[in-house]
Structure 1
Amino acid sequence: MDMNASVSKDATDVTPAASIFGTRAWRILRNGLLAVVGTVFVLWLVLFVTKGRFLKHPFESIASRMAGRDVRVGGAFQLYFAPLKIKFYAEGLSVANPAWATRPYLFQARTIDTRIAPLSLLFGKTRVYWLDLAGGAADLEWNAGHSANSWTFADTGGKPFELPRIDRATVAGTHVRYADPRTRLLADLAIDTVTAIDKKIGKAVGLHGTGRIRDTPFRLVAQLMSPDATLDRGENKLVARAWAANNVIDVAGTLPTATDIEDVPLQTRARGRNLAELLGIIGVALPNTRDYSLRAQLVKHGADYRFTRLAGRFGDSDLAGRLTIINGERLRLQSELTTRQLDIIDAAPFIGYNPDIVAAKGAVAAAAATGAAPQRLLPDAALPVAALQRFDAGLHWTIRDIKSRNVPISYVDLTLALDRGRLALSPLTFSMARGNVASDLIFDTRSRPALDSYDIRLSPTPMGRLLAGYGVDESGTTGTIKGRLQLTGRGDTIHDSLASAIGRVAFIMPHGSFWTRNAQLSELDIGTFVQKMFEHKLKEPVQINCGLIAFTVRDGIAAADPIIIDTKKNVILGRGGLSFKNENLDLAFRADGKQFSLFSAQSPVGLEGYFAKPRIDVISPELLGRAGGGLGLGAIASPLAAILAFVDIGDAKSAACGPILAGAHAQAMRTTKGKPRDDVGNGTTAKSESGKESTADRKKQRKKFLGIF
């Protein structure tokens, strides 16, 4: 009984399940599945037999709608399963560019043959088993507003097109063109033939080509050093070198993708014959330099190109810091720089000199090379007005020491601001001979010609240290000097602005001593000059009570206003002036004794010539006249009478130091008894100092200066 019951129960359990396959519903489902499979097989068979050639126009229509632009196949077309992978083959494939682009096609290929994983198309991560591409050409462009590019399609939500994963590839004869109107960059590059098997390329992928950035052509060679990782969508080690405007630029780094450099640190190095040529590529005006070599880390962030860890040299000077180039509405440079030692020759371009000429031939030759007349110092190199109005800049530069033979300068601190053509070096401070110089220099090219102002202030500085390179003995000189130069003029060169300048120059000497070692300054012998001032060979320092060397400047002509130095034994007076127009010097100095002297030439010492080549005239007409008078007296009376022509009765009037130390004009000068002085200049010069080069005029004026005594 029990056994029969068990058998009966098993039979009951099997019967319903078996009966399902015999039902009408099952037959419908089965027939439907067979129909689908049959249909798919028929479609597969049709595609396999026809190679899908009839799908050419539907493909063009669907692809064009999805891309938002025309997609065309100019020649043969195949799209089918072979046997389970999708095969796509096309000749003359082209994808159009947006209407704003300068070229009609984003992409063209002579032939393209691929095998694609079917399921990868359903899950949005396309996988290409292998790709053969021949004669490819891509045109990548940004629009003028930099708000759209040619490789972003309508169906991506604004995201750039991404390359699919490719397991095996052969790419030959491929060219890429890249254009960015905002940075004015155009590159036309050829990619070397690439062969990859099983995601392994086995060697670096190279590219080379030419281009133009702004108005400068360049040549580029680059290599993708880790192409295998690139195929796996991993790291991309890139090494590139470019040649442009006599510069060589190297770039190396690891990219997240083959074309993405945003926020990626890249190691850069640039070297060349002139740093101005490098920055000139992007339209930035910079003084010329000698050969340079710089390295830095570059990070592109939006419109900013940030160069950090900057280090290197230009000429014989070092440079470090950081620089940011901002490609906004206006190009702007923002930088923080430091220099341990700046060679004075490398500083020559800051005032318009060619440093190579300065190093080889000197400042006079460098000035002449700018267009200045022979024997001139002020350069005629014009400000790059157009360039200064194209970009803005901010710079803070500190220099610890300047290598100079004669002038001890150190601890330079410069703040530069360039705003739409107005260049301000303010403040510019530095230490000089244990003194400090503070200045504000402004060149405003928005006015035509440029409106230029110079305000230079020298704090009390030891003369022994300041003039040590010019023959002044530090151990015997305790005097100090302070001064100020305030000039305003118009011109696009330093020479032109000073040649039209108005203002005042004044140097004040408080109480102290002064001693020379009779050394040479150019061809001007300071020792001889001072000795002639005091009419005997110096055996001890000159004791200075107070002194003022001041000039009033009108239309580029500086007239003594006044020159007066009161010493323990003498009063030194000066008359004459100098010209910024032709750099002519025409000054006369005389030391009047405060005590009786049996023998004194009482003859002025002339300082004439040019800024670049001053000279002393110690044989003045007054001395010759006095000598002639002495000879006459000796002939008529006796030899002893001849000495009377050289007697100094010692009637020099001591100067009140108050107006002198205040830097007052000549009319404010007083004697120690409070009386106005009538022996100092009043800030006027004769007509011959108007800038003319007439030798006769200079001689006539020289006689007038020297004859007033």
Structure 2
Amino acid sequence: MDARSGQTASGADSAAVDRGGGTDSGWSSRSRRWARTAWTPAWLEKRPRPLRIAIRAILIIFLVLFAIWLILFVTKGRFLKGPFERFATSQLERQVDIGGDFQLYFAPFNIKFYAEDIRIANPAWAREKQFFIAKKVDTRLAALPLIFGRRILRFANLDGAQVALEWDAGNTRNSWTFGDPNRPPQPLELPRIQRAAITNSGLSYRDPQLQLTADIDIDTVKATESRINDAIRFSGRGTMRAQPFTLSGGLASPNETVAGGKNALTLHAVGLGNTLDLSGTLPGPTELEGADLKLQARGANLSRLFDFLGVAIPDTRRYRVTSALTYEDEVWKLTGIKGMFGDSDLAGSLAVSQPKGRVYLKADLATRSLNIIDAGPFVGYDPQRLDAMGTGGTIRTVSGRPRVLPEAPLRAEALKRFDADVRYRVTKVRAESFPMSNVDLTLALKNGLMEMKPLNFILAGGKVRSDISIDTRPAVVRTAYDIRLSPTRLGTLLARFGTEQSGTTGTVSGRIRMVGHGDSVRQSLASSDGRMAFILPQGTFWTRNIQLAELDLGTFVQKLFQDKLKKPVEINCGVIAFTVRGGVAAADPILIDTKKNVMLGRGGFSFRNEAIDMAVRADGKTFSVFSGQSPVGVGGYFAAPKIDPISDELAGRAGAGLGLAILASPVAAIIPFVDPGDAKAAQCGPVLAGARASAQRTTKGEARDDVGKGTTAKSEDGKQTSEGKKKQRKKFLGIF
């Protein structure tokens, strides 16, 4: 009975187990079924198992995120203060400290960051210890764009904030490039701020190489009433190359900004003799993309304005320009430029960017009418002297001697800090002496090498093609000149010097190739080596001056009385060439073969002291009485040349004639002026090839001994040697 009862009880327990209704495993099974029912709606139970798992995972993630959001919202994230300081210090590799309250949470979807007494240290080399300090920072950062790497601040409220922006002495590091201290300097990138309120704040900027310092105070002027109409005002002061400047302006943030409107910007700056006014709109307080601005600038020297960009351009005379200014794809674009510099107009476009942290200029500029005086500062003349003295401002007196070559030093170090591609065209040049037009310059500057290839222009109807390179990379600046003149009519070229265009068919072509060293035009030419050659092919030259140069008194008087003074001189061929060594140019050769004469020249000139010491004489091919057979001396300096048709030799002949007249008879007085007409005609092949003096030949193929050797008899200090003086007496001023 008991046994049976026990068996019955055991069976009942087993049945209960089978039904899952009286043991732990039974309860567990019911719990799982309940959990599935509670977490999984009926519609989800009908879905495939993988889909159910994915949806449950998403729900769990959502719940976890909601829990984090709820915890941060309730606690305001204050417990994250320590971890935030450590994380920021690690990422920036700068010490980050927060001395007061700290909040970091979602409110409700934007990230709210709030900190009091926050400090971010500067690198050890910086002048200021702190890069950023603020009594209070209150911001709202858009969370969703942050996932895609876009930093958009819905709102930023700064109180007592100070930012120190600095470059080191070598411009190899800046204070706003965080992380690895050996990392290349990065451009300053501001987050996009839609609205801002700033009180009692400011920033400072230091650039030792530009010699630029600036301190700017920023404050927000809040509107009364309930409207959101804050205006950010700023004012500042600083120095640029020891010259002070000031700036002021404002950024209005009207109600429309909140709805995606624009901010009205005004800026007025005065410094370095320049006044700049900027006005227009920005999409947001720190949003430059899509800016629509108008720039007006005026001042004494446009190059001083570009100093603010760390860019060196040639000096200019007083200027004024207007332009539209926009910012697109990290490029500042000045379009529709219109203005004047000096008495010349200027138009075109300019783009300024900073690829890889290096300033890059791309410009396309044009001038319809260029006053030659306005071009003076481009090559180193003082614009203030030009303003005060006109063309006379190009001449300076040094040790009692006039100098005309420009001496302003090239800003070589500044040229190494930026790159440029510039196209500049001039339709007409207003110059008294030389009719120039159609100037076309293409300039490329890269890593300190500036190439003007080509620099072309029309001169008296002939085309001048130039390639000039200035290399600032060596310790001493190296300049290479290659200037080519296509055949140009002498009548047009020398019209302002007494040449008659009618009847003058002669032309001239030439080439100048030289290399010099120095950081100014004068220094590069004073140290240059190379060659200059100008070729005169067959033609006529119609002018009174050629007769004076020949000093053939018989022919001159005869033509004077027969009214044939202006009969053209017939040129067979000619070359005027110089070899340049160490800045001293020696005739190599000067040889012009005409129908009646052979004109020869010796001597030369110096780029060192700008002195000229040359002589030109004409030997007749036919017998002539009353021929001086004496050279015309050309001396003085580049700025004050002198022509001396009565040379010492001619005076000596006159004395000899007078002595013979006294001792013998009056007829004997003309003997020293008789030209036997034994001049050796030139072989035109070497002449037209521009060959050196050593290669010149007579028509009989004989080497010429009357055209010099392309050397001078001056010592290195420019003084004439005693040997040179002897040669001068023997060779009619044939040395330099």
Counterpart Cα distance in 2 of 1:127 and 1:301: 22
In structure 1, the partner of 2:350 is 323
Equivalent position amino acid for 1:349 in 2: P
Deviations 1:460-500 (A, max 9, x none): 00111111222222223221101111112222222222222
Alignment of 1:237-636 (within 5 A): 237-301=264-328, 303-327=330-354, 328-361=356-389, 365-368=393-396, 374-516=401-543, 528-529=548-549, 535-536=556-557, 537=560, 538-636=565-663
The verdict on how the C-alpha distance between 1:387 and 1:138 changes in structure 2, with shifts beyond 3 A counting, is closer
1:12-45 deviation digits (Å, cap 9, x = unpaired): xxxxxxxxxxxxxxxxxxxxxxxxxxxxxxxxxx
Change (3 A) 1:527 1:56: farther
* CA distance in structure 1 between the partners assigned to 2:524 and 2:158 by the alignment: 64
Q: Is the 8 A contact 1:429 1:439 kept in 2?
A: yes
CA distance in 2, matches of 1:285, 1:503: 29
Going from structure 1 to structure 2, the CA distance change for 1:592 and 1:58 (only over 3 Å counts) comes to closer
Rate the CA distance shift 1:330–1:596 in 2: closer, same or farther, 3 A: same
Q: Please report how far the alpha carbon of residue 177 of structure 1 lies from its aligned counterpart in structure 2 after TM superposition.
A: 2.8
- Greater mean deviation of Cα atoms: 439-448 or 300-309: 300-309
For the 8 Å contact 1:220–1:241, the answer to whether it is kept is yes
For 1:578 and 1:431, how far apart are their aligned partners in 2? 27
C-alpha contact (below 8 Å) 1:241/1:248 kept by paired residues: yes
Partner Cα distance (1:134, 1:492) in 2 = 49
Deviation at 1:442, TM superposition (A): 1.7
Counterpart mapping for 1:35-184 below 5 A: 60-61=78-79, 73=100, 93-97=116-120, 103=130, 107-108=134-135, 136-137=160-161, 139=163, 144=174, 160=191, 174-177=200-203
Contact 1:321 1:337 (C-alpha < 8 Å) held by counterparts: yes
From 627, 640, 645, give the equivalent of 2:672: 645
Q: Do 2:506 and 2:537's aligned partners in 1 also have CA atoms closer than 8 Å?
A: yes
Following superposition, the deviation at residue 659 of structure 1 comes to: 1.3
RMSD over aligned CA atoms reads 4.1
Q: SS in structure 1 opposite 2:284?
A: coil
* 1:100-134 Cα shifts (integer Å, max 9, x gaps): 79637554259x9x9xxxxxxxxxx9999xx9x99
1:122-152 per-position Cα deviation (integer Å, ceiling 9, x unaligned): xxx9999xx9x99654649799486679xxx
* 641 and 140 in structure 1: CA distance in 2 versus 1, 3 angstrom threshold: closer
What's the secondary structure of 2:492's corresponding residue?
helix
Counterpart residue identity of residue 253, structure 1? G
Q: Distance in 1 between matches of 2:579 and 2:687?
A: 15
Opposite residue 436 of structure 1, the aligned amino acid is: K
TM-fit CA distance, 1:62: 6.4
Map Cα deviations across residues 222-273 of structure 1 (whole Å, 9 max, x no partner): 1345634345552212221122322122222222222211242322122111
SS in 2 for 1:627: helix
CA contact (8 A) 1:191 1:208 kept: no
Shift in Å, 1:532: 6.4
Per-residue deviation, 1:528: 4.7
Deviation, structure 1 residue 527: 8.0
Looking at structure 1, the residues matched to 411 and 299 of structure 2 have their Cα atoms a distance apart, in angstroms, of 22
**CA deviation map 1:608-638 (0-9, x unaligned):** 1111111111221221222122222222222
Q: 2:520 corresponds to which letter in structure 1?
A: T
Unaligned runs of 5+ in 2: 1-72, 89-95, 104-113, 140-151, 167-172, 180-188
- Deviation per CA, 1:320-351: give whole Å up to 9, x if none: 22222222332222222111121111111222
Matches of 2:399 and 2:279 in 1, distance apart?
45
Q: Tell me the amino acid that sits aligned with residue 340 of structure 1.
A: R
2:16 is aligned to: none
Distance in structure 1 (CA, Å) of the matches to 2:518 and 2:400: 17
CA 1:444–1:109: 2 relative to 1, 3 Å: closer
Deviation at residue 198 of structure 1 after TM alignment: 3.1
Q: Please, which runs of 5 or more residues in structure 1 have no aligned partner?
A: 1-54, 78-89, 115-124, 150-157, 166-170, 519-525
Once residues 428 and 372 of structure 1 are traced to their aligned partners in structure 2, the CA distance between those partners, rounded to angstroms, is 35
Q: What is the match of residue 7 of structure 2?
A: none
Question: Secondary structure of 2:653's partner?
Answer: helix
Q: CA, structure 1 residues 492+707, in 2 after alignment: closer, same or farther (shift >3 Å)?
A: closer
Corresponding residue for residue 36 of structure 2:
none
Offset at residue 417 of structure 1 (A): 1.9
Which whole-Å CA distance do the structure 2 matches of 1:164 and 1:429 have between them? 53
Measure how far apart 1:176 and its partner are.
3.6
Count, aligned residues: 604
Cα-to-partner distance string for 1:644-697 (whole Å, 9 max, x where unaligned): 221222222222211111111122222223333222222122135x44256999
Q: Is the 8 A contact 1:94 1:105 kept in 2?
A: no
SS at match of 1:195: coil
Give, in whole Å, the separation in 2 of the partners of 1:164 and 1:286. 38
For residues 383 and 126 of structure 1, what CA distance do their matches in structure 2 show?
45
Counterpart-to-counterpart distance in 1, 2:131 and 2:590: 77
**Partners of 1:609 and 1:126 in 2: CA distance:** 72
- CA deviations 1:283-308 (Å, max 9, x no partner) are 22222111111222222345432222
- SS state at 1:378 partner: coil
Whole-angstrom distance in 1 between the partners of 2:295 and 2:635:
53
Greater CA drift, 400-409 or 386-395: 386-395
Amino acid at match of 1:557: V
- The normalised TM-score by structure 2 is 0.72
Task: Give the AA of the match of 1:680.
Answer: V
CA distance in 2: counterparts of 1:644 and 1:559, whole angstroms: 34
- When residues 61 and 484 of structure 1 are mapped into structure 2, their CA distance, relative to the original with a 3 A threshold, is same
Task: Give the letter for the 1:239 counterpart.
Answer: T
Deviations along 1:420-447, one digit per CA (max 9) or x if unpaired, are 2222222111110000111111222222
Judged with a 3 Å threshold, the aligned counterparts in structure 2 of structure 1 residues 300 and 141 are, in CA distance, closer, same or farther, namely farther
Q: Distance in 1 between matches of 2:400 and 2:448?
A: 28
Query: Secondary structure at 1:687's aligned position in 2?
Result: coil
Normalised by the size of structure 1, how large is the TM-score? Answer: 0.75
- One-letter amino acid of the counterpart of residue 346, structure 1: D
Q: How far apart, CA to CA, are the structure 1 residues paired with 2:452 and 2:154?
A: 60
Shift of 1:579: 1.6
Q: Which amino acid aligns with 2:713?
A: A
Tell me, in whole angstroms, the C-alpha distance in 2 between the residues paired with 1:127 and 1:288. 45
Q: Is the 8 A contact 1:364 1:377 kept in 2?
A: no
Question: Per the alignment, do residues 104 and 489 of structure 1 end up closer, same or farther by CA in structure 2, a change over 3 Å counting?
Answer: closer
**Matched residue SS, 1:196:** coil
CA drift of 1:455 comes to 1.1
Q: Secondary structure at the match of 2:625?
A: coil
Partner of 1:692: 718
